[in-house]
Structure 1
Amino acid sequence: MLEFRTKGYQGYSVKYSPFFDNRLATAASANFGLVGNGRLFILSLTPQGIIAEKWYDTKDALYDTTWSETHENHLLASCGDGSVRLYDLAHDAFPIAAWTEHAREVFSVHWNLVAKSTFLSCSWDGCIKIYDPSNNQSLLSLPTHSCTYAAQWSPHEPSLLAGVTSDSMVHVFDVRAPGGGRAVVKWGNHSAAGGMGMPPGTNVAPAEVLCMDWNKYRPGVLATAGVDRVIRTWDYRMPGRPLAILPGHEFAVRKVTWSPHLPDVLLSASYDMTCRIWEDGTRGGVDGRPVDPMAFGGGREVGRMGAHTEFATGVDWCLFGSEGWCASCAWDERVLVWDVRAFMRS
């Protein structure tokens, strides 16, 4: 396991470069993101360990980062002052572009994986905005009417995106649909109902949804998780009930991400200080027997990494090389690079 210390800054997000297997970006904030400045670290994996190529300081906290899909040296950062900033590694100190249209903290940014000329941001101000990096204004604003913690473009459809909000809702937008600013489908995610992952008759208040990710192999399938500690997988075309339920975390789940190598494996990072590996049950049991992924408590955790000593807030898979390498970050001021396979139970 490799380690890098973001001394004085608590990590919020870590992302592998889509161009280089040895380059990472980490968005971190002083004072746990509550007050003070932020720092965007550009890290390299070398035979001598992880080193910082460079870093960019901001006057407000940083909550997320994402690499450009068109330029190997470009990446975005989302800022607590409501701005989205575009950096070029060939330039020092300052962003090469910035957008300041959000009224509150920008909590997530994501580059379009299919139509690579656009990216999005989402904010606590209750909207998702779409941009072209060559334009100094956003192209479209999509209202969610609630604090939006995460949003992502689909890896299968260039016009499809989803976002999750504090009112326990999942919103799916198609920007080509008539009236483009309306969700094509939305549903309650973490609320009181047997079909939502709790035993029938259990009364549970709706919980904030903090994270989501699209499956890389199965169009229409996404995973969500949040304050109620349960990961759920869905097909947005049939949103009446989840496809699978994966309980197990002891505190809120801050990040969930599907494997880029396998269609049924995902990683999560939680405030319980662990990163956990899951199988969603679509391939059956460990000895080939069928599994009911909808059985409460029947979700399959197949491993966990517990080296972090504070809230685990970010985790990301490496796209290159042998499957299983990932990076995680936490409020313990550490970025860890580790092999998922070493933590999976046989």
Structure 2
Amino acid sequence: MSDDNVRILRTPGHHGYGVKFSPFNPNLVAVATGQNFGLLGRGKLILSDLCLPDDGVVSSCEWSDALFDLTWSEQSPNNIVTASGDGTLHLWDTANPQAPLMVYQEHLKEVYSVDWSQTQDYQVFVSASWDTTLKLWDPNRSRSLMTMTGHEALVYQAVWSPHLSGCIASVAGDGILRIWNTKKNSQPSITIRVCEGEVLSCDWCKYNENVIATASTDANIYGWDLRQPTLPIFILFGHEYPVRRVKFSPFIETQLASASYDFTTRVWDHTAPSPCLEVMKNHTEFVYGLDLSNHKEGVMADCAWDQTVAIYHPGKPHLTPHEALQ
């Protein structure tokens, strides 16, 4: 990819773990970070406006421990929830970032994932922790609504279905993908053995409620049809080290992106004869966070341990990221 098609935002002294575009404003992107690779020190939530020069920072929120993930509220354009290494979650108002509006403290170990429901009738968020549990939260209540147990190792990610109200997918170090219907009970309704290693990430297809992709420490990406989950419907090879994030395109049903410990971010079409469409090599450390814009087709963001965030528009070398967002 041409350097002219990549914009690099710096996060000095803070290593990136999670990055997300605003669901309300196509020009806003937020990144969750930690000092000292998240092992020791403080965490910072950084909000940047891509229409501004340099790093575009318009707001930042600090916490006493590393921030491992974030999710934007689907109700308020200024609210973001972050997940921390000290087991807490925080609701922030980015317009008044001095202190969180709420602190949620029930998890017993690091919280590695947080995701806000996108279905209109179920405005809650889910957290996933190294204590092997998932928890369901109403942002206005200090105590969780539900605790979900079933994983036998630390949980890396939990994500809501964009189609099915109350439905969550989660993956963990036990090598298992689990599907939960929170409107029925706190036990998984579907369990899929993905691999012998750890499963680090998952995402739902935006056009098919039965299709989910997983990413794991065996460096592969697997696609699953929940109606026939015995074998994967596709396997994507190419990454050299564990795949840390996988995200389906919000615009093209068969396309998805991935970020890896091999320092690359890749774009795939799982139906193409040569599935890997593009390889982005913009980082010098593990790539941890990844997001695809819901506003503009192809606009992506990733963040890495090299203290940078990359914004780009794959496959459109004639457009700068700023032009792509217009």
C-alpha distance in structure 1 between counterparts of 2:190 and 2:116, whole Å? 22
Could you tell me how far apart the structure 2 residues matched to 1:47 and 1:12 are? 23
Stretch moving more, 237-246 or 14-23: 237-246
Evaluate the alpha carbon distance shift between residue 74 and residue 116 of structure 1 in structure 2; reply closer, same or farther with a 3 A threshold: farther
Corresponding position of 1:43: 48
Q: How large is the RMSD of aligned CA atoms in angstroms?
A: 1.2
Which shows bigger deviation, 101-110 or 111-120? 111-120
Contact 2:60/2:94 (<8 A) preserved: no
Give CA deviations for 1:223-261 in whole Å, capped at 9, x if unaligned: 001110000010122210101000110001001000011
Q: Please say if 1:181 is aligned against 2:156.
A: no
> What is the alpha-carbon distance in structure 1 between the residues aligned to residue 285 and residue 81 of structure 2?
26
- Give a deviation string over 1:114-133, Cα, whole Å, max 9, x none: 14511000000010000111
Structure showing greater relative contact order (alpha-carbon pairs closer than 8 Å, 6 or more residues apart): 2
Alignment correspondent of 1:199:
none
Structure-1 separation of matches of 2:186 and 2:203: 21
Q: Give the distance between the partners of 1:70 and 1:220, measured in 2 at CA.
A: 26
1:1-346 correspondence runs (5 A): 1-46=6-51, 48-114=53-119, 115-143=121-149, 144-177=151-184, 180-190=185-195, 206-281=196-271, 285=273, 300-321=275-296, 323-342=297-316
> How far apart are 1:136 and its partner, in Å?
1.4
Deviations 1:252-276 (A, max 9, x none): 1001000011000000000000000
Give the deviation of 1:34 after TM superposition: 1.2
- Unaligned 5+ runs, structure 2: 1-5, 318-326
In 2, the alpha carbon distance for the partners of 1:255 and 1:329 equals 11
CA drift at 1:49 = 4.3
Q: Name the SS for the 1:31 alignment partner.
A: helix
- 107-116 or 46-55: bigger deviation: 46-55
Q: How far does residue 306 in structure 1 lie from its aligned partner after superposition?
A: 0.4
Normalised TM-score (structure 1):
0.87
Deviation at 1:314, TM superposition (A): 1.1
Secondary structure of the 1:21 match is coil
| 1:302-345 Cα shifts (integer Å, max 9, x gaps) | 11100111111111111113x111111101100111011247xx
Against the structure 1 CA distance between its residues 63 and 47, is the aligned structure 2 distance closer, same or farther, given a 3 Å change threshold? closer
Deviation of the 1:50 alpha carbon: 3.5
2:56 alignment partner, SS class:
strand
Q: What is the count of residue pairs matched by the alignment? A: 310
Residue 115 of structure 2 contacts residue 126 of structure 2 at CA under 8 Å; is this kept in 1? yes
Work out whether residues 37 and 57 of structure 1, in 8 Å CA contact, stay in contact via their aligned partners in 2: yes
Unaligned runs of 5+ in 1: 191-205, 286-298
Q: Equivalents in 2 of 1:117, 1:279: separation in Å?
A: 32
Identity of aligned residues (%): 37
Give per-residue Cα distances to partners, 1:85-143, cap 9 Å, x unaligned. Answer: 00012223100001100000000000001145110000000100001111111000001
Contact 2:125–2:137 (Cα < 8 Å) also in 1: yes
Normalised by the length of structure 2, the TM-score is 0.93
Question: In structure 1, how many angstroms separate the alpha carbons of the residues matched to 2:226 and 2:66?
Answer: 33
AA of the residue aligned to 2:132: G
